[in-house]
Amino acid sequence: MPKEDFLTKHIEKFGQVIAALFRLRKKGQNTEIVTIGKQTIGQLLENPYPSTIELEYVAQIYNILGDSYTELLQNEEAQNSYKKSLVYYQKLSQKDKTFSFERENIIFDLKNKIKK
């Protein structure tokens, strides 16, 4: 049970970080998003065997970072973030046994952002 409690708390923590990033995005605080997003990705990828949920968080954060870099007119960083997000979403799509329309729409949107 302690292992499950740790995992639950871990997932809740990063879920709260994602929510905080969305709140910061609404306020236009892109520099803070970049700082928190990069730090969070580093923490999530410390685990050599991240869970599917952790990989989903990494993909979401890279997408949010891409939007923030775009707002900051850092187009090269934005493109790199979108590409990384796309890779993670595509891996998740291949790994997941159930089809997700939401994920496929995100993949479609990311491909369009990368083409720009």
What is the residue-averaged pLDDT of the chain?
A: 89
Number of domains forming the structure of the chain: 1
pLDDT tens sequence across 47-87: 888 888 889 999 999 999 999 999 999 999 999 999 999 99
Residues 28/72, Cβ–Cβ less than 8 Å: no
Give the residue among 12, 21, 11, 85 at the shortest CA–CA distance from 52.
Answer: 11
pLDDT tops 80 at residue 10:
no
What range defines the domain where residue 17 resides?
2-115
**CA–CA gap between residue 99 and residue 83 (Å, rounded):** 21
User: What's the pLDDT at 71?
Assistant: 94
Please report the pLDDT score of residue 13 as a whole number: 81
CATH number of the domain that residue 25 is part of: 1.25.40
Task: Give the other-Cβ count within 10 Å of 78's Cβ.
Answer: 21
